[in-house]
Every structure is written in structure tokens, then in C-alpha cells.
Amino acid sequence: MSVACFPQLPIGTIAQFPISRQWSRRTQVNTMQSGATVVMPSTDPPRVSWRLSYTGLSDAEWSSLASFFKSVYGSYGTFTFIDPTDNLLAWSEDFTQKVWSADPLLELTGGAADPQGGNSATTILNKGQASQTIIQSIPGAGWFLYCFSVYLRADSACSVTLIRSNASGAATQTVDLDRTWARFVSAGSMTGEDTSASFGFEIPPATTVMAFGPQVEAQPSAGLYKPTLGRCGVYTASRFDQDILTQKADAMGQYSTTLVVTSPY
């Protein structure tokens, strides 16, 4: 069964630009009998919100947004929201973290020179006699159109297989590496109604590659690389911050609206 997930537009994007994203945290203010004021941070978790403005929506696009808004009863229901401004993978510069599922014969060594002039690339050695994979899963809609990108290179020419998958199947793409850093991209959608999607790559036996900056975005092509730590761009407890969805007719069959989505950070 599919999860309630904020829909993609038919062109394969979540939102239109400009997008406003705001992080906030409540502050508690206590006024004492003496008149003194005590200010302290609230124990409530911080929140992040997005203001999404749409123009020129077709009848089908407006219907998709309006139907979804109605299905979650405005601000009442929760849903998964995929941040259109962020990387959907966590720990994008540390393949040793638990969010990455690496086959046992892969040896991971951090601190290698990366294509952006730092030392955040990872050297990955496949010590086995069979291909080995390193994969990360995200709790986003498995049927969305996603773009997976990663920087790769190898001292000796070799091929690596990029992987996009869900429980219903997988899409693979073989890319050729040499000594020069290159950003490789695999984009597309998959069938099924799975509640997660997975991304990574497969390394041939007895092969060493350098990897940096894996990124997943819910759009047709790769955007500017965005490094992440433990927090990625998938928010599974999101709500609308409104109970009324307004519609403005721009022209015959073209509509505008504004949505505000909020989620615990």
C-alpha cells in the first residue's frame, strides 16, 4: 500500500521556484512577580516549514494538489514531504555510517582528496571475488521520479554500476571511470507503490574506486551538490499549515495557489 506522500507534478518536480524554507524553535518567556523576565528554549522540537507558490498549474496539476489536500483533511493529517531544496541521502560524505548498507567485502577509507578541493572522498576497495554494493534507502515514495548522482574516479580504468531500486524492481546504469573525477547521474521513475526507494552503486571484484557526494533529488536532473550529516531531506511527519486551499485562475485552464508545509526537524 502506498504512503500518503506530497505529490510530484507531472514534469517530475515537487515545487516551483521561488521556494521559502524556514527553520524555527519556540522560546518560553516567563515574567516573574518582580518584573524580571526569564527566557529559555522550549523543550518542543524545532520545526522546518516550506512556503510553496505555484503558478500556471494545468487542470490535472491543480486537481492533483487539491485532491491530496482534501485526502489529508488540510492540517489534520500527516504525510511524507520530500524537501525540494535538499539532498535526500543522509551522511553524504561518510559511507561508514549505519544508513549505508555496504557488502561485507568492501573496505572503506575516508579522507581522500575530493573534487571540490577538500578531503572528504572515500576510497572503496572490493576485496572479494564478486561484485559488491553500497546502498542507502530513503522512506520516500518508491514510484517517484528520482535523480541519483555521485562523483566517482579510479586510478585504473574500470566500470561501476549505478543502482536505483524499490521492492518492485531495480534500474541499473553502467558507467566508465578513469583517473579524472566525474559526476555520474541516473534518473527515472519505477513502478509499484512501495514505501521506500534505494540508491547506490556496485563495484566489480578486486577493484578500487574513489567516491564523493552521493545525492538524490526528486526531480529529473541533478542540482548543486548539498552535503548532509544525519538529517536528510525526507520528512515523514509533515502537515499542511492551513485548512483552506485557495485557487486563483490565471487564465483558461491555468491556476495559482500557495501551500505551507511544516514538519518537526
In a domain, 26, yes or no: yes
| Whether residue 225 sits in one domain with residue 105 | yes
Cell of 177: 571511470
On the 0-12 / 13-18 / 19+ scale of CB atoms within 10 A, 22 is: exposed
Same domain (yes/no): 155, 221: yes
74 and 112 in a single domain? The answer is no
Q: Assess whether 212 and 239 both reside in one domain.
A: no
If one compares 235 and 2, the residue with the highest pLDDT of the two is 235
H helix or E strand, kind and range, residue 100: strand 100-102
pLDDT at 1: 44
129 and 177 in a common domain: yes
Q: Are residues 245 and 174 in the same domain?
A: no
Residue 28 lies in a domain: yes
Number of domains in the chain: 2
Q: Are 139 and 195 in contact (CB under 8 A)?
A: yes
Q: Rounded mean pLDDT of 103-128?
A: 97
130 lies in which domain range?
A: 100-229
Tell me: pLDDT of 2 over 70. no
Asked whether residue 93 is domain-assigned, the answer is no
- Cβ-contact 41, 28 below 8 angstroms: yes
Of the pLDDT bands very low, low, confident and very high (cuts 50, 70, 90), residue 3 is: low
Residue 191 belongs to a domain = yes
Q: Is the dihedral of CA 12, 15, 17, 21 positive or negative?
A: negative
Residue 79 lies in a domain: yes
Residue 153 is part of a domain; what is its CATH number? 2.60.120.260
For 224-236, what is the mean pLDDT? 95
pLDDT score recorded for residue 75: 95
Beta strands in 142-207 (DSSP E): 146-153, 158-166, 169-177, 182-188, 197-203
Do 221 and 104 fall into the same domain? yes
Residue 26 confidence (pLDDT) above 90? no
Q: Is the pLDDT of residue 186 over 60?
A: yes
Task: Tell me whether residue 3 is in a domain.
Answer: no
Lowest-confidence range among 20-34, 176-190, 223-237? 20-34
Shared-domain flag, residues 190 and 105: yes
Same domain? For 166 and 194 the reply is yes
Whether residue 133 sits in one domain with residue 212: yes
Asked if 147 and 206 sit in the same domain, the reply is yes
Give this prediction's pTM: 0.90
The pLDDT mean for the chain works out to 93
201 & 221 share domain: yes
Please say whether the beta carbons of 52 and 260 come within 8 A.
Answer: yes
pLDDT on residue 77: 95
Q: Which are the contacts of 213, defined by CB distance < 8 A and separation ≥ 6?
A: 92, 93, 114, 115, 116, 149, 150, 151, 183, 225, 227
Q: Is residue 70 part of a domain?
A: yes
Q: Evaluate whether residue 141 is within a structural domain.
A: yes
Mean pLDDT of 75-92: 96
